[in-house]
Amino acid sequence: MNVMEEITKWGHEKVLFVNNEEAGLKAIIAVHNTNLGPAIGGCRLWPYASEEEALFDVLRLSRGMSHKNAAAGLNFGGGKAVIIADPSQKTEAMFEAFGEAVNALGGCYITAEDVNTCCDDALIIARKTNHICGLPHVSGDPSPYTAIGVFQGIKATAKVLNGTDSLEGLTIAVQGLGKVGYDLCRHLHKAGAKLIVANLEQEKLDMAVEEFGATVVSVDEILYQECDILAPCALGAIVNPTNIPKFNCRAIAGAANNLILDLESGEALKARGIYYAPDFIINGGGVINAAAEAAGDYNEEAVLEKVYNIYNTIEKILLESKETGEPEGVIATRFAEERIYGNK
């Protein structure tokens, strides 16, 4: 992999590679765009198979954050960080070293929690930098707000599918029962949806069966269940040439980032007549919450107003796609980039 070619291809401003052997930290921080303000985006901790895989992920995720923040109307650019490690390898020294790395960027990147990092980790990072949000005594865990936004986006998707946003009796397949996925199931169950779920941890599956009456299938089968809406809440790139012919849903609307592998996959999904709620729009609730803290004027009521507006944005994009035949992801990207690059 030619690193500079990859960075140039995605349009990034800067990428910082961090290697602190004493602290056990290997990390990459990617700042995609700061036209609208400092880049904001979480820190993901994941046991990547290679450094190339980690770089590919952080570049896609940080670009997605530029789009997500712009589409949500936030005055922040997009960035992301990945720590290459297994969750069992977490140490305070690792997160302190990461905080020092964030601080070295001088405020052009503001970090927060993400996959396998939490509020307690954020407090450790905050020992070394002020460029962090999602602290427990301010905005806190962003995942409940992400789940609310995804739920609103699913309701909007149902409205375009059926003429009503009622979820009563609809079958929704949820891939992944992490913080967001499980919280989303709670909202969906309360709204009367029938749930099919898959997860790597048996404990969460048992809880979903008991609390929501969910039907459990394997992680290999969940994407291909017959359902009204497929809600991927795990990792991305599930809309790809291998999976598209096997989907048995009417729409895809979930919390995972970068759900569509590439432009061609988005076009192929559209050709199959399957609606797609763009991931960086529908899952924007968490960063809306965190950005309010970063802006220094946190107010939960104002945050929720913006999160509920995800419904309107998703409905608008789906209806435009229905009318024009243009893939939803293309419409959403144009919507975001008009704001990003119109502010130069």
Residues 154 and 221 in one domain: yes
pLDDT interval class at 344 (50, 70, 90): very low
Question: What pLDDT sits at residue 115?
Answer: 87
Residue 131 lies in a domain: no
Q: Is the pLDDT of residue 343 over 80?
A: no
* Cα distances (angstroms) measured from residue 203 to each of 62, 117, 154, 180, 208: 32, 20, 26, 16, 9
Domain span at residue 12 reads 3-64+77-125
The pTM of the whole model exceeds 0.75: yes
> What CATH number did the domain enclosing 172 receive?
3.40.50.720
Left (φ > 0), alpha (ψ -120 to 50) or beta: where does 163 sit? left
Average pLDDT, rounded, for the chain: 95
| Any domain includes 135 | no
pLDDT in tens, 118-164: 999 999 999 999 999 999 989 888 999 999 999 999 999 999 999 99
Tokens of 202: 């048996």
Same structural domain for residues 314 and 169? Answer: yes
Confidence of residue 2 (pLDDT cuts 50, 70, 90): confident
Interval 184-209: pLDDT, tens = 999 999 999 999 999 999 999 999 99
173 and 271 both lie in a single domain:
yes
- List pLDDT tens digits, range 246-278: 999 999 999 998 899 999 999 999 999 999 999
Q: In this structure, how many other beta carbons lie within 10 angstroms of the beta carbon of residue 150?
A: 33
- Catalytic entry in 68, 80, 179, 306: 80
Shared domain for 108 and 151, answered yes or no, is no
194 lies in some domain: yes
Q: What are the pLDDT digits (tens) for 279-305?
A: 999 999 999 999 999 999 899 999 999
In angstroms, the CA 63 to CA 12 distance is: 8
**Domain total in the chain:** 2
Do 82 and 154 have their domain in common? no
Q: Are residues 24 and 164 in the same domain?
A: no
Question: Confidence band (pLDDT; 50, 70, 90) for 6?
Answer: confident
- Please indicate, yes or no, if residue 137 is contained in any of the structural domains: no
- The answer on pLDDT for 1 being more than 80 is no
Whether residues 119 and 157 fall in one domain: no
pLDDT tier at 3, thresholds 50, 70, 90:
confident
Last residue of a domain, one of 55, 90, 125: 125
Clarify whether 80 is annotated catalytic.
yes
